[in-house]
Structure 1
Amino acid sequence: MVFSSLIFIFVFLPITLFAYYISKGRAKNLVLLIASLIFYAWGEPVYVVIMIFSIIFNYICGILIDKFKGMGKKDKLILISSVVVNIGLLGYFKYYGFFIENINKIFGINLEYRELPLPIGISFYTFQTMSYVIDVYLEKVNVQKDIISFGTYVTMFPQLVAGPIVKYGDIEKQLRERKETLNNFSKGIERFIIGLSKKVLLANNIGLLWSSIKSLDIKNMSTVSAWMGIGAFTLQIYFDFSGYSDMAIGLGRMFGFEFMENFDYPYISKNITEFWRRWHISLGSWFREYVYIPLGGNREGKLKQYRNIFIVWLLTGFWHGANWNFILWGLYFGVILTIEKCFLKKWLDRQPNFVGHIYTMLIVILGWVFFEFDDMTKGMEFTRVMFGMGGSGLFDKTCLYYLRSYALYFIVLIISCTPLPKRVASNMRTRFEGFSLAVQPILYIILLLLSTAYLVNESYNPFLYFRF
């Protein structure tokens, strides 16, 4: 089940909200836990067993670490065991086939293996359970002795499938004593509708262009078509993922939770360092806190700092998927970020803003080519066409057709990547008293109706981060 589906919007969510709001006290967490397990089991009922195991195992590890704190090295042994088991589960289901396939190629053998469907959200909830156990060990958070509350934290369906990755310390208090208010609920609905509209009306429609261009024969593709295609994917992945994060944050507010922001207009960045502070913020924060800083961060000299950056970005790429293109994508950004640390960022800071913007978008767009093409040979062929070293020349009839069809749409989406629409809405609320009371609700209703109409006739409704 995904948020951008009619069964979720008009069946699952209303029933869950009703059950939640008629419940009191500890029962609210129980309702959320049961609803989240149903949500998770909707597509893959068998894999709910893995999630339940993860809840019980990490709950027990937290209890034992707290019990043995200061008693020799037992707590550290439990921590290591927890990390090994969590990474082992993630590795088995996400990377098992990748490793066997590469062993077969390297050694020229034919080890048989069965491809396993990837449990939904396993990359996200594994990071959450690991951060909890680590934080209990480091005494950053108190151990959670209520397994219902802990299970709610791990399984919470608003952010289960695609984040944001919520650290236990961020919602420890909220699990215990949150307040649901009418204002929070209405803000949650608004945020959910904005996210739904970004996903359904923007991401899906521009994604159709990328789907069409990607299906073309690369040898007969023009340079402009290639740039339009990867430009469409650049916009699609932003509105797809940020839209889903908006929906998750909105759903959280409906249930009284405050989740961290996951995107902050990344495409207005002036360098790649800034871009990665604005894109998938919760993942970057997790790797910084649990990998980069423990490795020494920037405290032990430049060479070790560069080493730490490469390790983080190798793991970031590998986290996204069991394929060499993701590893290449991660290392690509590791190299760029290292160069920026050395000298490039200082140089860019002295240039006019537009220089930094152009540089950043070129680097990001090229990165999305590595990210999107599982077949790296095709990815390289596509890149060559982008720079006029292959394909059918600069222009062709196909690209002219796409330009006529999508030019206005590109303009709308590019503007929507900036804070401008939010500023306009804020100015309208300030200048016109009736805007928030009358006009704004009507706009949200129209967006919901348009999104619903699209979903009724849906033929193209992918969720790009579903596979991670």
Structure 2
Amino acid sequence: MTFGVENVAGFEIGKIMSENSLVFSSLEFLFRFLPVFLVIFYLTPVKYRKIVLFIGSILMYACGEPQFVLLLLACTALNFLIGRNMRTDIESPCPHSRWRHKKQRKWLLLALATDVGVLAFFKIGNAADSNILLPLGISFYTFKMISYQMDVYRGKAEAAGSFWIFGSYICMFPQLTSGPIMRYGDAQDSLEAPRCTPQQFEEGLRLLVIGLGAKVLLADKLGLLWNDIQTIGFESISTPLAWLGAFTYSLQLYFDFEGYSLMAVGIGMMIGLPYIKNFNQPYMAVSVSDFWRRWHMTLGSWFRDYVYIPMGGNRKGLPRLVLNLCVVWLLTGLWHGGSVNFLVWGITVGVFVILEKLIYGKWLSRHSVLSHVYVWIIIPLTWVIFAVTSLKDLGIYFGRLFPFFGVGETLNPGDVFKYLSMYWWLLLGGIFFCIPAVSVWFNRHKRKWYGYALVLVIFWAAVYQLSNEANNPFMYFRF
């Protein structure tokens, strides 16, 4: 899908933008949309760059889902107006603070009812009827709207006085489709007058390339094994191959989503936005709770600040703590999707988090080696629940993982050796890049000549790979 031949600053939009412009790991984005956008962005006076960012983001979104552009614009405009009215009430000279607080709370409830209602409508509708499309990125931009309204209400952020600043915050293309979930207070100053130092641009470009390599050279290749297992059929694989598939999918999802996050953060830095950390070596965690403090950190902190803590956190006794954790993980599962497997996944992770809090968390903290082994077993099992949407297929897969449940004889008992011979180097590569010392070494040497050379090799290897294969969208696009 392309736009008509519209001309902006001498460029024909239809020739530089297509639905593939939404995918950062595509040649269209890397060699058409992004260079043209950056040229226009930096040729524009600083005070107007937020307008360029907003318009460019809307055009990019329209390439993929034109039918939902009006929804995005309507939600953005409504939240902007509600925020302004809330600010007016906060600054009101009326001496009756209780009256002001009551009015602010009404505006907040209107915003929450609208944002949550829109998100729930599409999530539930898509789960009930697959013909109801789920707008791209709605989970992420809705959460940004909610956090903005909550922060304005609490006085942690000043309400936006300019629609262009607020619109560029909500719709900015680096974060629109799959996050990270940046807080308005962190972005506000940068969006008022977007500037970027040469050092910041260089670091952003480096993160963009590393993220591209993680996605194209690791995640996409590791995904071939999971695709092969699905093609074979879960009922036909051996127990060793089932475990290999679980570990491989865990690595694939990590490098896919971390790759996207690095690219999004890198592009953001290239236009003057601050650095956001979304992953912190999650597979080096020592518990499931620790894993989720390290994985998708902006989502975890969102649920902590806007659900868990407002409900009382761990301050109101043990029963309330358990209830709060159950609610958080139930909502986390539903946020990822409306199908039953996501609900089961959220409940399962929540159960492990609660058990660690109540029973064996302290024991894990005293046994570092066993705690790592525990994480490397439990997390892949939970990712299997995440990946397999059919409960029937999920039961078959777990029957293969734990054959004492009995699901029939394995048709190909030696199949794991075939796939290990094909993918062993990718698995070793994935494990290698999960080791913290590797990133520590690179950060120390990234400004050496061989550091630049390594980044250049990663970039052209990824481009070569993209030129020989079809675009493979990021896995979190469907959320």
* Normalised-by-shorter TM-score class: over 0.9
Select the residue among 403, 406, 413 that pairs with 2:430.
Answer: 413
Secondary structure of residue in 2 paired with 1:142 = coil
Does residue 386 in structure 1 map to residue 415 in structure 2?
no
- The match for 1:368 is 383
Post-superposition shift, 1:399? 1.8
- The match for 2:23 is 2
Conserved 8 A contact 1:222-1:391: no
Deviates more, 1:153-162 or 1:451-460: 451-460
Closer, same or farther in 2 for the Cα pair 1:394/1:254, shift >3 Å?
A: same
CA deviations 1:356-400 (Å, max 9, x no partner) are 011112111110111011101211210110112335449724221
Structure 1 residue identity aligned to 2:461: L
Post-superposition shift, 1:295? 0.3
Write out aligned runs for 1:28-427 (5 A): 28-69=49-90, 70=97, 71-72=99-100, 73-98=102-127, 101=128, 115-351=131-367, 353-389=368-404, 390=407, 392-393=409-410, 396-426=413-443
RMSD (Å), alpha carbons: 1.6
**Partner Cα separation in structure 2 for residue 381 and residue 399 of structure 1:** 18
**Partner Cα separation in structure 2 for residue 201 and residue 191 of structure 1:** 15
Structure 1 residue identity aligned to 2:163: I
**Partner Cα separation in structure 2 for residue 212 and residue 293 of structure 1:** 43
**Partner Cα separation in structure 2 for residue 397 and residue 287 of structure 1:** 44
Select the residue among 30, 38, 43 that pairs with 1:17.
Answer: 38
**Partner Cα separation in structure 1 for residue 70 and residue 260 of structure 2:** 25
**Unmatched 5+ residue regions in structure 2?**
1-21, 91-96
Structure 1 residue identity aligned to 2:370: V
Conserved 8 A contact 2:216-2:465: yes
- The match for 1:456 is 467
Structure 1 residue identity aligned to 2:41: Y
Closer, same or farther in 2 for the Cα pair 1:28/1:150, shift >3 Å?
A: same
**Partner Cα separation in structure 2 for residue 358 and residue 388 of structure 1:** 21
**Partner Cα separation in structure 2 for residue 245 and residue 186 of structure 1:** 17
Post-superposition shift, 1:321? 0.4
- The match for 2:8 is none
Closer, same or farther in 2 for the Cα pair 1:157/1:144, shift >3 Å?
A: same
**Partner Cα separation in structure 1 for residue 316 and residue 81 of structure 2:** 36
Post-superposition shift, 1:420? 2.4
Structure 2 residue identity aligned to 1:457: N
Conserved 8 A contact 2:214-2:255: yes
**Partner Cα separation in structure 2 for residue 397 and residue 302 of structure 1:** 49
**Partner Cα separation in structure 1 for residue 40 and residue 358 of structure 2:** 55
Post-superposition shift, 1:65? 1.1
Structure 1 residue identity aligned to 2:477: F
Secondary structure of residue in 1 paired with 2:313 = coil
Secondary structure of residue in 2 paired with 1:68 = helix
Structure 1 residue identity aligned to 2:115: N
**Partner Cα separation in structure 1 for residue 253 and residue 408 of structure 2:** 25
Post-superposition shift, 1:176? 2.1
Using structure 2 for the length normalisation, give the TM-score.
Answer: 0.91
**Partner Cα separation in structure 2 for residue 275 and residue 219 of structure 1:** 31
**Partner Cα separation in structure 2 for residue 404 and residue 227 of structure 1:** 16
Closer, same or farther in 2 for the Cα pair 1:114/1:329, shift >3 Å?
A: closer
Conserved 8 A contact 1:224-1:395: no
**Partner Cα separation in structure 1 for residue 275 and residue 449 of structure 2:** 28
Post-superposition shift, 1:177? 4.1
Post-superposition shift, 1:114? 7.1
Structure 2 residue identity aligned to 1:401: K
Conserved 8 A contact 2:25-2:216: yes
Post-superposition shift, 1:426? 4.1
CA deviations 1:158-207 (Å, max 9, x no partner) are 11111110111111222224531111111111000000000000000000
Post-superposition shift, 1:39? 1.2
Post-superposition shift, 1:354? 1.5
**Partner Cα separation in structure 2 for residue 258 and residue 80 of structure 1:** 30
Conserved 8 A contact 1:197-1:451: yes
Secondary structure of residue in 2 paired with 1:299 = coil
Conserved 8 A contact 1:388-1:394: no
**Partner Cα separation in structure 2 for residue 419 and residue 245 of structure 1:** 18
Post-superposition shift, 1:24? 1.4
Secondary structure of residue in 1 paired with 2:455 = helix
Post-superposition shift, 1:253? 0.7
**Partner Cα separation in structure 1 for residue 48 and residue 448 of structure 2:** 34
Deviates more, 1:168-177 or 1:155-164: 168-177
**Partner Cα separation in structure 1 for residue 320 and residue 412 of structure 2:** 47
